[in-house]
Amino acid sequence: MEQGNGKKLVIGVIGADVHAVGIRILEYAFREAGFDVTNLGVMVSQEEFIGAALETAADAIVISSLYGHGELDCRGMRDKMDEAGLDGLLLYVGGNIVVGKQDFVDVEKRFHEMGFDRVFPPGTPPEETIYYLKKDLGVD
Amino acid sequence: MHYALLIDFGSTFTKVTAVDLISEEIVGTASAFTTVDSDIGTGLNVALDRLRRVTGDIAFEFKSACSSAAGGLRMMVSGLVPELTAEAARLAALGAGARITRLFTHELTRRDLIAIEADPPDIFLMTGGTDGGNRACMEKNAEKLRSLSVQFPIILAGNRQAIDACEDALADFPVTVCPNVMPSFGVLNIEPVQREIRDLFLKHIVNARGLSKTKEILSDILMPTPSAILSAMKLLADGTEKETGIGELMGIDVGGATTDVYTIARGEPVDMNVICKGLDEPYAKRTVEGDIGMRYSVAGIVSEVGQSWISERSGLTADDCATYISELSDDKSKVPLTHDDALARFDHALASGAVEIATRRHAGVLEEAFTTSGLIYVQTGKDLRSVRQIIFTGGSFIHAQSPLDIARHALYTERYPMSLRPKQATVLRDDRYILSAMGVLAEREKDIALRIIKRELVPLGDISLGDDS
Ligand code: B12
């Protein structure tokens, strides 16, 4: 494992989504890469992400959604974060965030408009997410 | 010298209990009225005189006490997020037997500071942030408390990275540092804080409460009364090495101003399709409903269950109920004259309502989540459906004519299927108010205390789901 980089992540699978495997893999990969990870597991509400990010003073929230309702579940997340005093906190989403095979450029645009800093298409390997996390958080 | 004297300094009564440590029997109990202003020692002496009339002159090996006199142990607690560190702090204080006069979340405001100054607590418990997490909340709150003109003991039990700065800011206060109540997300660690609360209670509060005058006659004043009751319940459930306990249980104390509910139970989910959310639950948990009580908090009960609920269960007309509600708000000392007069029936309905609401607030809840792969449940709080014993203590229940009917309101019902209360239970009653005394005795003599509790609690019968609703 790389030495801790001091950056704290709150991760979890949003909404009523129970796909439990991917988030474990992400937790493991992020830890190996030196992050301090709070994994909230599956079926995580927006409020839980926010509460955990507040208490742990997280540097980023990474949301996973696999069952297709990601867009609905993520709506309003950024606004709630602003309300909670987490304005500007780095916010990622990935997995299979929408139903079926939609043009990802459109999907990405919609999620950007919802206030997500980075939006990842299905099949994104953990390494890629780690690369961007380090870049965005200024970790060498 | 094989006797122990156990004293419970209450807000209105001082109760004394004498125990023979060899025959393991309660040889006498007595009580005396104490007012807030009168010297607490006077009440004690009257009670002791009365006890002597029963027991004769006996010498005590030790004399120990618990106290809820003069408002009990009054605490304020602060945390960051309401459901997280603030909740952990609340659970810690309640479990230590405190009465929470104010709970603050996020940063303290100027108004909060004015409120603190106007009615300072016995102890302030400050939390916020996981270890390595949010520091700003604790640090800023410490900075703000520093400016107060009053002082009180402060326990720092939040993010350990914030402790140094807080200690520096609060150099003028008696400060103690404890491990974080929520060291990492969702993890509860409240026992160290609870031990500290008890230490502070002994060191500071006992003096402030006029109890120090009784010190010369006591071996020790051990703990706040609710903490003694919780410890008696835990002893009863868990047993000792030599004496078995009775297993998981729920305890209910419907008082004049508040209703306390205790559970000694793990409360973990039983089904596969249940996901747990929220903070860990303490195995020995106490909740206090400040708006639910038989005299000072009648309005709270009525506003929760509704007046028609009360009139239905008391058999009184809506007008009669309204009359009692207003009469009781004027005269808190009103008591039924006979077992079945109108006020007794009204009290029966009130107690039923108090039990109904307080247990519903204490127990965990399920929420349904429809997923495409089927129905899933999300549990917050304890699942108490398999708890099989309910202990009642406190006056309103002891004098009740049909206690089992009141007790039924602590059970799971189809009307509130998501409220995870016991599905059936044996009801036990603390007829001689011995639980707090035994909690105190257990500090020295666990086995004896346990055997006495087991013998003294009176089984009233079994109740189960669907008996009535
Ligand atoms: C196993 C499985 C289930 C199991 C889950 C068991 C469990 N508790 O974990 C069960 C049977 C319960 C299930 C149910 C459903 N499933 Co399913 N399930 C799968 C399956 C076969 C494998 C998922 C898995 O574990 N993969 C292995 C892990 C390691 O990969 P992963 O989850 O994709 O995660 C990786 C990446 O996606 C990425 N990633 C994930 N999150 C994030 C976040 C960020 C920010 C980034 C950068 C990357 C990232 O990194 C992870 C690690 O490499 C997939 C199909 C598939 N092959 O992927 C369908 C799949 C995810 N399920 C699907 C569906 C539709 C459902 C149901 C709605 C089906 C139904 N009608 O019943 C329900 C929904 C239930 C619910 N409420 O969540 C669809 C989703 C389609 C969509 N989004 O358009 C899929 C893709 C199957 C399909 N092709 O139709 N499912």
Query: Given B70, B95, B115, which residue is the final one in a domain?
Result: B70
- Is residue B226 a part of any domain in this protein? no
Q: Is any ligand 1 atom within 6 A of the Cβ of residue A131?
A: no
Q: Provide the mean pLDDT of chain B.
A: 89
Is the domain of B140 the same as that of B287? no
The answer to whether B151 touches B172, Cβ cutoff 8 Å, is yes
Choices 3.30.1180.10, 3.20.20.70, 3.40.50.970, 3.40.50.280: CATH for A53-135:
3.40.50.280
- Both tokens of residue A89? 């906190």
Q: Is any ligand 1 atom within 6 A of the Cβ of residue A30?
A: no
Q: Which domain holds residue B22?
A: 3-70
Q: Do A43 and B378 touch (CB under 8 A)?
A: yes
* B367-385 average pLDDT score: 83
Q: Provide the mean pLDDT of chain A.
A: 92
Domains held by chain B: number: 3
Does the ipTM surpass 0.85? no
Pocket test for ligand 1, best of A10, A19, A71 (most atoms within 8 A of CB): A19
Is the domain of B42 the same as that of B96? no
Is the domain of B451 the same as that of B338? yes
Is the domain of B44 the same as that of B154? no
Chain A hits for B186, Cβ within 8 Å: 52
Task: Identify from B184, B188, B371 which residue to disrupt to test chain A contact, counting A C-beta atoms within 10 A and taking the largest count.
Answer: B371
Q: What is the CATH number of the domain that holds B13?
A: 3.30.420.40
Query: Given B70, B105, B120, which residue is the final one in a domain?
Result: B70
* A14-18 average pLDDT score: 90
* B225-235 average pLDDT score: 95
Q: How confident is the model at residue A140 (pLDDT cuts 50, 70, 90)?
A: confident
Q: Is any ligand 1 atom within 6 A of the Cβ of residue A5?
A: no
Q: How far is CA B220 from CA B51, B211, B443, in A?
A: 20, 11, 11
Is the domain of B270 the same as that of B179? no
Is the domain of B94 the same as that of B193? yes
Is the model's pLDDT at A36 over the cut of 90?
yes
Q: In sequence order, which residues have a C-beta less than 8 Å from that of residue B309 and are 6 or more positions away?
A: B349, B353
- Is residue B272 a part of any domain in this protein? yes
Is the model's pLDDT at B185 over the cut of 70?
yes
**pLDDT tens-digit series, residues B93-129:** 999 989 899 999 999 999 999 999 999 999 999 999 9
Q: How far is CA A132 from CA A30, A60, A79, B63, in A?
A: 12, 11, 23, 67
Is the model's pLDDT at B207 over the cut of 90?
no
Q: What is the CATH number of the domain that holds B83?
A: 3.40.50.280
**Residue A79 Cα, ligand 1 centroid: separation in angstroms?**
27
Distance from CA of A51 to the nearest CA of B (A): 6
Question: 3-state class of B289 per DSSP?
Answer: strand
Is the model's pLDDT at B368 over the cut of 90?
no
Q: How far is CA A12 from CA A21, A45, B34, B235, in A?
A: 11, 9, 56, 39
Is the domain of B317 the same as that of B198? no
- In this prediction, residue B287 carries a pLDDT of 94
Please give the share of chain B, as a percent, with pLDDT higher than 90. Answer: 62
Q: Does B132 contact chain A (CB < 8 Å)?
A: yes
Q: Tokens 């509460």 belong to which residue?
A: A51
Residue type, position B242, single letter? K
Pocket test for ligand 1, best of A23, A63, A96 (most atoms within 8 A of CB): A96
Is the domain of B297 the same as that of B154? no
Compare all CA atoms of chain A with the CA of B183 and give the residue at the minimum distance. A56
Is the model's pLDDT at B395 over the cut of 50?
yes
For atom 16 of ligand 1, which residue has the closest CA? A67
Is the domain of B263 the same as that of B236? yes
Q: Do B129 and A57 touch (CB under 8 A)?
A: yes
**pLDDT tens-digit series, residues B12-31:** 788 999 999 999 999 999 98
Nearest to B85 among A10, A41, A55 (CB): A55
* B76-88 average pLDDT score: 93
For atom 20 of ligand 1, which residue has the closest CA? A19
pTM score = 0.83
- In this prediction, residue B469 carries a pLDDT of 44
Of all atoms in ligand 1, which is nearest to the CA of residue A25?
A: 52
Is the domain of B343 the same as that of B423? yes
Q: Do A43 and B277 touch (CB under 8 A)?
A: yes
- In this prediction, residue B272 carries a pLDDT of 79
Q: Is any ligand 1 atom within 6 A of the Cβ of residue A60?
A: no
Q: How far is CA A134 from CA A35, A138, A139, in A?
A: 9, 6, 5
- Is residue B220 a part of any domain in this protein? no
* B174-192 average pLDDT score: 94
Q: Where are the domains of chain A?
A: 53-135
Q: Does B373 contact chain A (CB < 8 Å)?
A: yes
Is the domain of B299 the same as that of B419? yes
Long-range contacts of A70-74 (CB under 8 A, 24+ apart): A70/A14, A70/A15, A70/A95, A70/A96, A70/A97, A70/A98, A71/A97, A71/A98, A71/A107, A71/A110, A71/A111, A72/A15, A73/A14, A73/A15, A73/A16, A73/A17, A73/A46, A74/A14, A74/A111, A74/A114, A74/A116
* A45-74 average pLDDT score: 94
- In this prediction, residue B373 carries a pLDDT of 65
- Both tokens of residue B259? 């209703």
The single-letter DSSP state of residue B244 is B
Task: Give me the phi and psi of A10, to 5 degrees please.
Answer: -110, 125
Q: Would you please indicate which residues of A are annotated as catalytic (active-site) residues?
A: 17, 19
Is the domain of B270 the same as that of B154? no
The answer to whether A14 touches A73, Cβ cutoff 8 Å, is yes
Query: Given B50, B70, B90, which residue is the final one in a domain?
Result: B70
Q: Is any ligand 1 atom within 6 A of the Cβ of residue A120?
A: yes
Compare all CA atoms of chain B with the CA of A67 and give the residue at the minimum distance. B372
**pLDDT tens-digit series, residues B21-74:** 999 999 999 988 876 556 677 788 889 999 999 998 899 999 998 988 777 789
